[in-house]
A = this chain, B = another copy of it.
Amino acid sequence: MKTRRDYLSSLTAMKPNMYKFGEAITNVITHPATKRTVESHARAFDAANNPEYAELFTTTSYLTGKKIMRFNSLMKTSEDLLLNAKLKREMYRLTGTCAGGVCVGWNAMNVMWAVTQEIDAEFGTAYQERLKNWIIKAEEESLVVAAALTDAKGDRSKKPNAQEFPNTYIHIEEKRDDGIVISGAKVMICGVAASNEIFIVPGGGYKSEEADFAVACVVPRDIEGLTIVETRRPSDKREYENGFDIPETGITQAYLLFDKVFVPKERVFMAGEFKYSGKVVQYFTANYRSCIGACVAGQGDVMIGAAALMARANGLPMKKFKDKFIEMSINNETTYGVGIAAMTLGKAHPSGAWICNDLMAHTNKTLVGKLPYETKRICQDIGGGVVETGCLPSAQDFAHPLYGQYIQEVVKAGAVSAEGRAKTARLIEWLTLGAGVPGCMHGGGSPDGARLVINSKIPYEKYIDYAKAVAGVNEETEDPGLKK
């Protein structure tokens, strides 16, 4: 399999088009703003080449029968989805945070496998064949692929075509024989700095007058006309420091500013078929929201470990916190479990792609927007004042000739060294209110959206009928409508 070294080379070979703090990032694998997310993704290649993890991180291609990175594979069974979730949980355990490039592009590609078949069936297009060719390439090159769904959106009360600024949503500017020209912003896109390519999918269900916004394609990260601006994150300036105040892994999110970018037709999988844009969102959220419970569970696992380690570093036995660890575990397994249920209750799409159960997936999204917050609170509760806001002197102060020794003497508390205690406190700070926080509330869409889906999936009349039958109410009833 592709190795860490191969992967890093593939990133270095790309042209620079990224910025943060107004400065160009010329080499993502060494630049402080991006090297941590690259490190996170590199660990996936380490795992693929490590016998302990290889079975999870690699698989056999449905298309070619070759051994490939799992995150490039088609998912045709609920078992495939489950392994997606397991891989994500393991990635969080190995890195402490989100590695979007081994996850979102994977999901987008599978969703488009289903949607292109539907489009082709109606319009006689050959999108799926194009996609298949690209997938084979991605499999062979073990491409890390981010995906971009969220547009900048602008004024929420107006439709895409009524926005003040046209770049508020990505859109087709021109259709040419050999491809399309697109402009517009996709925002808050995870893992871009560590990715080889970016998969673009529509962010909403569009109508005929919005056909230009119904676009799906995949582009190299360094495509001509694309400017990428890395967003800030909590404590992101700490990534520019030396010293032990921040872990070596990380996550990034980016604004993608497309300005008349030409995408050749081989890489285009939807171009104006607005009717199917909603399907993309439906399938995407169903599968994505099933799997994100595994992400927060994996981070929760690290939080259990970090809290237990902190207890030791504080000189306290784990037993004292047993009930709190159990609560953390319940939260972790609940989001993991409801996601698995969404897979189990899912169905195979005619294209072969497995599509998870909507109601269960969106139920999970609401849990993912809530339970990890409790897990973090408990982690801070166990860890003590030293972790709550990272209330410790800096690494530089630990080393200061005048007072560093004094600090180290009073920081040491339990069986762990002063520096070990400091690093553990910093880990919890990083996990709970630092640069490692992944964004589980709104990532993959907001809980309020999930609630609307849930509401639409509750079979109210059926449930009323059950209630009537048990209660012995036989008359017809009708909703009185809103009070005037």
Considering only CB atoms, which chain B residue lies closest to A318 in the complex?
A: B479
Q: From residue 404 to 420 of chain A, which have CB atoms closer than 8 A to chain B? A: 406-407, 409-417, 420
Interface 1/0 per residue, A230-241 and B, CB below 8 Å: 111111111011
- Residue among A417, A464, A467 with most chain B CB within 10 A: A467
Residue numbers in B under 8 Å from A390 (CB-CB): 231-234
A453 → B minimal CB distance (Å): 10
Considering only CB atoms, which chain B residue lies closest to A471 in the complex?
A: B427
Whether the pair A467, B302 counts as a contact (CB closer than 8 A) is yes
Whether the pair A451, B409 counts as a contact (CB closer than 8 A) is no
Interface 1/0 per residue, A202-216 and B, CB below 8 Å: 000000000000000
- Residue among A20, A168, A308, A434 with most chain B CB within 10 A: A308
Task: Tell me whether A410 and B152 are in contact in the complex, defined as CB-CB below 8 angstroms, given that A93-B466, A304-B458 are known contacts.
Answer: yes
A54 CB within 8 Å of chain B: no
Task: Tell me whether A412 and B165 are in contact in the complex, defined as CB-CB below 8 angstroms, given that A397-B19, A399-B22 are known contacts.
Answer: yes
Q: From residue 433 to 484 of chain A, which have CB atoms closer than 8 A to chain B? A: 433-434, 437-439, 441-443, 446-448, 451, 454-455, 457-458, 460, 462-473, 475, 477-484
Interface 1/0 per residue, A6-26 and B, CB below 8 Å: 000000000000011111000
Q: From residue 235 to 253 of chain A, which have CB atoms closer than 8 A to chain B? A: 235-238, 240-241, 244-245, 247-249, 253
Whether the pair A306, B471 counts as a contact (CB closer than 8 A) is yes
Whether the pair B322, A455 counts as a contact (CB closer than 8 A) is yes
Query: How many copies of this protein are present in the complex?
Result: 4
Which of A120-128, A268-276, A280-288, A331-339 has 4 or more CB atoms under 8 Å from chain B? Answer: A331-339
Enumerate the 7 nearest inter-chain pairs by beta-carbon distance, A residue then B residue, closest first: A305-B463, A337-B341, A237-B237, A305-B467, A385-B442, A22-B396, A152-B410
The CA-CA distance from A307 to B230 in the complex, in Å, is 24
The CA-CA distance from A338 to B318 in the complex, in Å, is 27
The CA-CA distance from A468 to B301 in the complex, in Å, is 12
A191 CB within 8 Å of chain B: no
A255 CB within 8 Å of chain B: yes
A393 CB within 8 Å of chain B: yes
Residue numbers in B under 8 Å from A318 (CB-CB): 460, 479
For A413, give its contact among B82, B156, B241, B366 (CB under 8 Å): B156
A295 CB within 8 Å of chain B: no
Whether the pair A330, B406 counts as a contact (CB closer than 8 A) is no
A81 → B minimal CB distance (Å): 10
